[in-house]
Structure 1
Amino acid sequence: MDKESLQLIELEMAVLVRRLTTIASKKTNGNLDRAAYLLLHQLSIKGTAGVKTLAFELQLDISTVSRQAAALEQKGYVSKSPNPLDLRAYFYQITESGKKEWMKYKQARLDKISELLSEWSDEERKNFGQLLKKFNDEIKGKI
């Protein structure tokens, strides 16, 4: 692998993480943080799920997902129902309020990304999205 390219990627990833953290800290996207957004996204796209499934899909430990789901339940963004096969476990589903908040947060993110990439060509945006997905898939496969 070309050492110069690797060094450029490493530096730019560090800068990207710093800048994304700065953007996220401004809390301009409503009442959700990234963790809540991803959990609501998972429930919205995949439907009702248990903590173990959510933990696996989000690559988090069960206790972290349980805490996040409990916080979202307190806000009324998810509801839980007992698992009929194991009454100690629960299934979570996104509520209408949760869907609205998730969509609001998602739209704010899309607006910000659109603004940031406004001078990029459609091809550049498409390639960037595909490369980000490829990179994230590579990371997921190594964790």
Structure 2
Amino acid sequence: MMTKNPVETIEVELGIFIRRFIAATTNKKVGNLDRAAYLLLHQISTHGSAGVKALAEEFQLDMSTISRQTAALEQKGYLYRIPDPQDGRAYSMQLTDTGTAELALNKQARLEYLTKHLQDWTEEDQQRFGELLNKFNCTF
């Protein structure tokens, strides 16, 4: 039996993984935040306040998309704007207490979901998989 090209395997398995994870965290409502909101709040929580331009660069999205997403999160009370003292038109986004609490609840729900599905994995396998996912994400 001939082994598939490893890149082919990664491409297919990654597609399946993305589809299943999005379905699980969206359709089954693992937490109240959609993927985009969760990632934006997580980024700001982890790396501190950030402007729309920096967030757009981080997520490789256009500024109008990030502007819409941050505006929606601001409207829900999860983010607030910090004016830039050097440029009156620019601002950074910061988490509110409500945003911090919502992020924590969603993170806990996601961790519980993943823990349940990884319960048969060894801690070493989980560690290695996390390291490889991180390495993979850093290549982009």
Q: TM-score, normalised by structure 1?
A: 0.89
Q: Which residue number in structure 2 is paired with residue 131 of structure 1?
A: 132
Which position in structure 1 is the counterpart of 2:35?
A: 34
* Paired position in structure 1 for 2:45: 44
- Seen in structure 2, the aligned counterparts of structure 1 residues 88 and 55 have a Cα distance that, compared at 3 Å, is same
Q: CA RMSD in A?
A: 1.5
- Identity, in percent, stands at 51
Q: Does 1:9 align with 2:7?
A: no
What is the CA-CA distance between 1:25 and the residue it aligns to? 2.7
Could you tell me how far apart the structure 2 residues matched to 1:59 and 1:4 are?
28
Q: Scaled by the length of structure 2, what TM-score is found?
A: 0.90
* Cα gap change, 1:50 to 1:7, in 2 (>3 Å): closer
Q: CA–CA distance in 1 between the matches of 2:85 and 2:28?
A: 39
1:27 Cα offset (Å): 4.5
- How much has 1:3 moved relative to structure 2? 4.0
| SS of match in other structure, 1:88 | coil
Aligned partners of 2:103 and 2:31: how far apart in 1? 9
Q: Distance in 1 between matches of 2:50 and 2:12?
A: 38
Residue 99 (structure 1) aligns with: 100
Structure 1 unaligned regions, length at least 5: none
In 2, distance between residues paired with 1:56 and 1:27?
30
Secondary structure in structure 2 of the residue aligned to 1:91 = strand
Structure 2 counterpart of 1:121: 122
Q: How many residue pairs are counted as aligned between the two chains?
A: 138
Alpha-carbon separation, structure 2, partners of 1:66 and 1:111: 31
User: Which amino acid in the other structure matches residue 89 of structure 2?
Assistant: R
